[in-house]
Amino acid sequence: EPEVTQTPSHQVTQMGQEVILRCVPISNHLYFYWYRQILGQKVEFLVSFYNNEISEKSEIFDDQFSVERPDGSNFTLKIRSTKLEDSAMYFCASRGGSFWGASTDTQYFGPGTRLTVL
Amino acid sequence: QQPVQSPQAVILREGEDAVINCSSSKALYSVHWYRQKHGEAPVFLMILLKGGEQKGHEKISASFNEKKQQSSLYLTASQLSYSGTYFCGTEKGEGGSEKLVFGKGTKLTVNP
């Protein structure tokens, strides 16, 4: 069964450093998302991406964050200058659908990248 | 506006039933149910679309009352493997890029 993959599984970084989290969505999916989950808390939306541009972003997704789909398969989240409060599990998700209509499918989550900022 | 889940936690013995509720103050297009085990990604259980349908998946089923903006997840004859945190994620629109807004979760513990 196709699945979303993410690398690395765990990233430790120093405050102020840049990190890039990578995701390979399910092939043929059109919609891509990043969510994060601080330990013990709920899953929070960061950004959605469709047709090579951001569809929506949350207030968490400030200028320090960016997303990119550099080729036909990868989807990346970059944090330019990490802060202690960025420590969380980051999940990538993807969803199928048509170019012209709504998707009645769910979002499939990857295994996550645990980011620890020291 | 995040959906409200209840109860926050449930402890069951194997074989018992449970109901987890998810309610929203906003009109919803769909409700998605996920189960998450500690340290793992949320795993999709089922999606309910506007229309008030009920769905089943083995001994886990769910309903969606569109008028009340409520969904319930029913777990019958619970098994040890059902332990985990259950999240409902809601969508207000039908666009493919709609985000999921998650509730705080319901922690389910099934004991032997």
Residues of chain A numbered 32-91 and touching chain B (CB < 8 Å): 33, 35, 41-45, 48-50, 55-56, 58, 91
Which chain B residues touch A107 with a CB distance below 8 Å?
Answer: 32, 44, 89, 100
User: What is the distance, to the nearest Å, from the Cα of residue A24 to the centroid of all Cα atoms in its chain?
Assistant: 10
The average pLDDT across B99-106 equals 94
Least trusted range by pLDDT, from A24-33, A45-54, A69-78, A93-102: A93-102
From chain B, pick out residues whose CB is under 8 angstroms from the CB of A58. 99
CATH number listed for the domain at residues B4-111: 2.60.40.10
CB contact under 8 A, A31 and B40: no
DSSP states along A55-90: EEE-TT--TTEEEE--SSS-EEEEESS--GGG-EEE
The answer to whether residue B84 scores a pLDDT higher than 70 is yes
What pLDDT score was predicted for residue A102? 55
3-state secondary structure of A38: coil
- Higher per-residue pLDDT: B99 or B53: B99
Q: Is the pLDDT of residue A36 over 90?
A: yes
The stretch A33-37 carries a mean pLDDT of 96
The residue ranges of every structural domain in chain B are: 4-111
Banded model confidence at residue A78, pLDDT cuts 50, 70, 90: very high
CB B38 within 8 A of CB B27: no
C-alpha to C-alpha distance for A52 and A89, rounded to whole angstroms: 24
What's the CATH number of domain A5-98, 2.60.40.3140, 2.40.50.140, 2.30.42.10, 2.60.40.10?
A: 2.60.40.10
> Which residues does chain B have within 8 Å of residue A108's beta carbon, measured at their own beta carbons?
44
pLDDT at A98 over 70: no
B103 touches chain A (CB under 8 A): yes
Per-residue pLDDT for A99 more than 60? no
Name which of A10-14, B37-41, B51-55, B94-98 the model is least confident about.
B51-55
pLDDT of residue A101: 53
Q: What is the DSSP letter of B4?
A: E
